[in-house]
Chains A and B, each alone.
Chain A
């Protein structure tokens, strides 16, 4: 692998509380090249915070420290706010978890997607409209012209998520952070959306950090997987070799998913007390 797109060493995210500081990301290190890296873990495992920390979106009073946090030649921790604004969207963009809270409720979908483009590029209005419609079409929205002028509350959750994906992919970033991009979608649309993301990554040579709680999905979609628990990386493996995972947490997660041909009367539940961490 050539020089990694993103290089993270000893990343920590801390929040001060009345009971003293709480570390939600506890010294993780990884690199991302032009590949698909999956980060798997449950709520509270720190996976989303990791994504946010990379974009410097952790809000005060949260504190992000790292020995190294670099995107190519740019140090993300030392960049000024103005520099960060040119990085966000253009070089790294992030698909958030929930379209309901991440889309602007008082802007039409077309205007929002267009804005993602015009922030970084001066374009005639007609071209903006054309590119937005193309992008809506690329995320398999059946009637782009109609959806263009709708407001976020007028579309379904699945469609909202595709709108967000369109918005994040339209500036053609180098690195895409997708935080649970498909958990609000049904299986059929999920396939399409993943296919769209996959196509763009291979075509444009983008890197992808795919954050999800769905182990099986990640194992099929990504090249490499990091399993996070309690703010730490407990396991790293090649996606194809997830069956050989050894950490009890990973194994517990795998077992708790119902199967299509389900015969178990009860699903095994993770016993969180059975393993402790440093």
Chain B
């Protein structure tokens, strides 16, 4: 069964069409990357799945269950999102403990103390950070909290929107290692949005290249590594990524 399948997805913000007729399938347990330039609509796809961009048409189904547009409590426990900016995505006046317990309270899940301790341990956060506020944490620690929050309800699908682009390279390495390990341990499926092709190469199995709201190519990461992408635009992206100074 596919963890996620999108059929003919269109998303618009008001008059502007951002995503145009996208179809893709992400197999259970897979790590799939959406890459493209800014404005290509890759983040919007994630937002539509997560319910943050309600103006969409087409079909979204997660583990075989079609996603409606209304608020869906069950959906939250199958699919969660990690945002790009750990500085912006955490409530500045909530402690780590409050951030992590809120989803449990909403879903009326008990045993909060043990669950919070467990999740904090699995993302490598020391228990002493539990009652700190976001401003008392470093960027890497904050992103760990954001990942921990997403894992609180034990979802099977994680939507990752540029999870490391706001972090330092050495911290990025830590978070990438963490994501890789969590996926193995918990059998997660990832849909990762990024513009950083080396990150795709490290973390993903397959990728789709987006341009101006459309998918121009879907291929394996092996093809990316060995320069066998078939579409001209994807090859161009790879080339630019390898030589940021251009000619």
> Does residue B197 face the partner (Cβ distance < 8 Å to A)?
yes
In residues 139-155 of chain A, which contact B (Cβ within 8 Å)?
none
Contacts A159-B38, A159-B39 hold; do A187 and B168 have CB atoms under 8 A apart? no
Is the beta-carbon distance between A261 and B201 smaller than 8 angstroms? Answer: yes
Q: How far is the CA of A264 from the CA of B203 in the complex (A)?
A: 11
Contacts of B166 in A (CB 8 A): 183
Is the beta-carbon distance between A267 and B177 smaller than 8 angstroms? Answer: yes
Is the beta-carbon distance between A185 and B244 smaller than 8 angstroms? Answer: no
Contacts of A264 in B (CB 8 A): 202
> Does residue B199 face the partner (Cβ distance < 8 Å to A)?
yes
> Does residue B230 face the partner (Cβ distance < 8 Å to A)?
no
Is the beta-carbon distance between A195 and B139 smaller than 8 angstroms? Answer: no
Nearest-neighbor residue (CB-CB) of B139 within chain A: A43
Q: How far is the CA of A257 from the CA of B238 in the complex (A)?
A: 16
- A to B CB contacts below 8 Å, 20 in the list: A43-B171, A158-B38, A159-B38, A183-B166, A187-B197, A187-B241, A187-B244, A188-B240, A194-B244, A213-B169, A215-B169, A220-B244, A221-B245, A258-B173, A259-B201, A260-B197, A260-B242, A261-B226, A267-B202, A269-B174
> Does residue B110 face the partner (Cβ distance < 8 Å to A)?
no
Chain A interface residues toward B at CB < 8 A: 42-44, 100, 156-159, 183-192, 194-195, 213-217, 220-221, 252-253, 256-262, 264-270
Is the beta-carbon distance between B170 and A256 smaller than 8 angstroms? Answer: yes
Q: How far is the CA of A119 from the CA of B33 in the complex (A)?
A: 45
Nearest-neighbor residue (CB-CB) of A100 within chain B: B88
Q: How far is the CA of A264 from the CA of B241 in the complex (A)?
A: 19
Q: How far is the CA of A253 from the CA of B173 in the complex (A)?
A: 10
Nearest-neighbor residue (CB-CB) of B88 within chain A: A100
Contacts of A190 in B (CB 8 A): 244
Is the beta-carbon distance between A261 and B225 smaller than 8 angstroms? Answer: yes
Is the beta-carbon distance between A260 and B241 smaller than 8 angstroms? Answer: yes
User: Of the candidates B165, B177, B195, B225, which one forms a contact with A266 in the assembled complex, judged by CB atoms under 8 Å apart?
Assistant: B177
Q: How far is the CA of A100 from the CA of B172 in the complex (A)?
A: 22
CB distance from A220 to the nearest CB of B (A): 5
Is the beta-carbon distance between B245 and A220 smaller than 8 angstroms? Answer: yes
- 3 residue pairs, one from A and one from B, having the closest CB atoms: A186-B195, A158-B38, A267-B173
Is the beta-carbon distance between A256 and B172 smaller than 8 angstroms? Answer: yes
Q: How far is the CA of A224 from the CA of B198 in the complex (A)?
A: 25
Chain B interface residues toward A at CB < 8 A: 36-39, 88, 138-139, 165-166, 168-174, 176-177, 180, 195-199, 201-202, 224-226, 236-238, 240-246
Contacts of B138 in A (CB 8 A): 43-44
CB distance from A242 to the nearest CB of B (A): 14
Contacts A156-B38, A156-B39 hold; do A260 and B246 have CB atoms under 8 A apart? no
Q: How far is the CA of A43 from the CA of B243 in the complex (A)?
A: 25
Is the beta-carbon distance between A157 and B174 smaller than 8 angstroms? Answer: no
Contacts A187-B241, A261-B201 hold; do A268 and B37 have CB atoms under 8 A apart? no
Q: How far is the CA of A269 from the CA of B170 in the complex (A)?
A: 6
Q: How far is the CA of A215 from the CA of B173 in the complex (A)?
A: 14
Contacts of B237 in A (CB 8 A): 187-188
Is the beta-carbon distance between B176 and A260 smaller than 8 angstroms? Answer: no
Q: How far is the CA of A158 from the CA of B246 in the complex (A)?
A: 18
Is the beta-carbon distance between B240 and A258 smaller than 8 angstroms? Answer: no
User: Of the candidates B38, B168, B196, which one forms a contact with A157 in the assembled complex, judged by CB atoms under 8 Å apart?
Assistant: B38
Is the beta-carbon distance between A256 and B245 smaller than 8 angstroms? Answer: no
Is the beta-carbon distance between B202 and A195 smaller than 8 angstroms? Answer: no
Contacts of B243 in A (CB 8 A): 220
CB distance from B96 to the nearest CB of A (A): 19
Nearest-neighbor residue (CB-CB) of A270 within chain B: B170
Contacts of A260 in B (CB 8 A): 197-198, 201, 224-225, 238, 241-242
Is the beta-carbon distance between B172 and A266 smaller than 8 angstroms? Answer: no
Is the beta-carbon distance between B38 and A262 smaller than 8 angstroms? Answer: no
Contacts A159-B39, A191-B240 hold; do A43 and B168 have CB atoms under 8 A apart? yes
CB distance from B40 to the nearest CB of A (A): 9
Contacts of A194 in B (CB 8 A): 244-245
